[in-house]
Amino acid sequence: MLRAVRQIAQKLTALTTVFCVFLCSVVSGAYGSRVSAPQASQTGASAQESCDHFAIDFPKLPKAGTGTASDKILAADALAPCQEAARLTPSPHFTYLYGQVLLAVQRYRDAFHQFKLGADSGDSSSMNGVGLMYASGWGASRSDTEAAAWFRKSADAGNTDGMGYLGYFYMEGGGVPQSDADAAIWFSKAADRGSLDGINYLGMLCFKGRGYPQSDKKALEWWRKSAAAGNAVAMIDLGYMYAYGRGVRQSDADAAAWWRKAADAGNSDGMNKLASIYAGGRGVPQSDADAAAWWRKAADNGNSEAMDNLGYMYVNGRGVPQSDADAAAWFRKAADAGDARGMYSLGVMYQNGHGVPQKDYREAAAWFRGASDRNCDQAKINLGVLYQIGWGVPQDRRAASRLFAEAAKSNDPDVAAHGKKLLSDLASDPGPWNRSSASASNPILLLAVGLALIGAANTSPSASTNQSSHSGRCMSFAIGNFETAKTLEGCPF
């Protein structure tokens, strides 16, 4: 169950932010429909039965603070019987289940306490829970070292998920020295015990040449094995391989087929990818209506990237009636979920006064700042211009210069060129700006507005870009960024 728990981790930093992405990919759908079980105070076997009833299909470490209304209802329904079962039954199983439910309803300190009780009694699943809480900073002071230590205890106890978590920490260098070799060892141990996510990560190591020589062939073998067993993450990876012709004949149709399988399996990333190819007409007949429908499904399942993409569909009236108000609402949902593109997009709406009560530079600056802090280079440019002019923020040429310089280093050539131009213009401008000089004829202000219009009107979701989410381009949809490296030893299979 690697990568299983949340997309609200923007409050975390560095490794933990990456780790949260790692945890999020497996549990992406709703928990399913069930007949409601008794919620009143219970004793003995009845409490156990009710708790187990609600725990059917409940993720091993549930999404905290996210998900659909039905998810939250299920967690609330499970709270009373699982509390009773944990209180009345000296069993690590119910101690752990109760911790799960507490985590799902965002009672983080109580969840940490419950997981710690189970872990101290030797329950390896609870050890994973403690490790997660330390990794995220939920209910405990964030500590990668403590997290890694608890994952190691779980792994040493034979827990497959603990092996996968520890492998990921070695791969990223969190709480332990970075080591692709050790990551491969622990992923292999998890895979040997049937972990599909362990298999997925072995494929990723082979694909990127980390711990093994780069091998598209071996990566494909691992991912096919996992996909054949029903793993949606592997299906998405296989879709990428066909989309870019890596190890296979390039085929948009096959890429679409794999992403459809992932989407049909309830994976919101698969839904998001499928929507993108409908928008671009790659491998399927172009259909804005289908694109919007799949983005809505993904967004309803908590996918913040899909929320942002759906917002752009409303901006442009593609597949949905044109509505700046609906666009702003979806951008806000994405922004509230911590999505940098959503923050940038919402900032653009406030900067232009579209879909919001009125033009508000202070609000725009706040959202641009949030996006900028998450490496959105367009937001750095727009925020820098606001600092240079003094709109919504105190006039500050140094802050503007710093932001333009950061944007000038963007991996996106257009953004980098804008950043360099603004930096050069700022350096040649001898005196402070005043608001009266920021007119429609001013080239710097025009540039800021132009970038805003690129984000709000000209940039619609597309399946044709090969930019990663960390490349600095936070306006357009990205379908992957494959990279390779050279290391030693042969890929296993």
Question: What residue segments make up the domains of the chain, in order of their start?
Answer: 1-177, 303-458
Cα distances from 373 to residues 27, 332, 360, 376, 388, in angstroms, run 27, 17, 20, 7, 18
- 36 contacts 160 by C-beta, under 8 angstroms: no
Contacts of 90 (CB under 8 A, 6+ apart): none
pLDDT recorded at residue 227 = 96
pLDDT recorded at residue 484 = 26
CA distance 405 to 377: 10
Could you identify the residue written with the tokens 């009143």? Answer: 40
* DSSP H helices in 137-215: 144-156, 160-172, 180-192, 196-208
Compute CA 433 distance to the chain's CA centroid, rounded to the nearest angstrom: 39
CA distance 91 to 114: 12
CA distance 410 to 46: 59
Residue closest to 282 by CA, chosen among 406, 429, 463: 463
- 318 contacts 292 by C-beta, under 8 angstroms: yes
Residue 435 DSSP label: G
Kindly state the average pLDDT of the residues 265-272.
95
Across 164-168, 268-272, 429-433, least confident range = 429-433
pTM of the model: 0.74
Between the CA atoms of 78, 81, 82 and 86, what dihedral angle is there, to the nearest 10 degrees?
A: 170
Two tokens, residue 368: 């641009």
CA distance 308 to 464: 17
Whether the per-residue pLDDT at 292 is higher than 90: the answer is yes
Whether 303-458 and 1-177 are alike in CATH topology: the answer is yes
Q: How many helices (H) and strands (E) does the chain have?
A: 23, 0
CA distance 26 to 72: 18
- Higher pLDDT, residue 266 or 492: 266
pLDDT recorded at residue 327 = 97
Question: Considering the chain, what percentage of its residues have pLDDT values greater than 70?
Answer: 73
pLDDT recorded at residue 56 = 54
Contacts of 243 (CB under 8 A, 6+ apart): 250, 252, 255, 282, 479, 480
Handedness of CA 377, 378, 380, 385 (dihedral sign): positive
Contacts of 146 (CB under 8 A, 6+ apart): 131, 134, 140, 175
Residue 284 DSSP label: S
Banded model confidence at residue 74, pLDDT cuts 50, 70, 90: low
- 176 contacts 199 by C-beta, under 8 angstroms: no
Across 198-207, 254-263, 451-460, least confident range = 451-460
Banded model confidence at residue 48, pLDDT cuts 50, 70, 90: confident
Neighbours of 285 (CB within 10 A): 7
Kindly state the average pLDDT of the residues 413-433.
85
- 58 contacts 99 by C-beta, under 8 angstroms: no
pLDDT recorded at residue 181 = 95
Two tokens, residue 230: 């029903």
CA distance 315 to 460: 9
Two tokens, residue 194: 């049937």
- 372 contacts 380 by C-beta, under 8 angstroms: yes
DSSP per residue over 241-265, as a string? Answer: HHHHTSSS---HHHHHHHHHHHHHT
Fold of 1-177: 1.25.40
Residue closest to 28 by CA, chosen among 267, 263, 293: 267
SS3 195: coil
- What is the CATH number assigned to the segment(s) 303-458? 1.25.40.10
Residue 274: burial class (beta carbons within 10 Å; 0-12, 13-18, 19+): buried
Whether the per-residue pLDDT at 20 is higher than 90: the answer is no
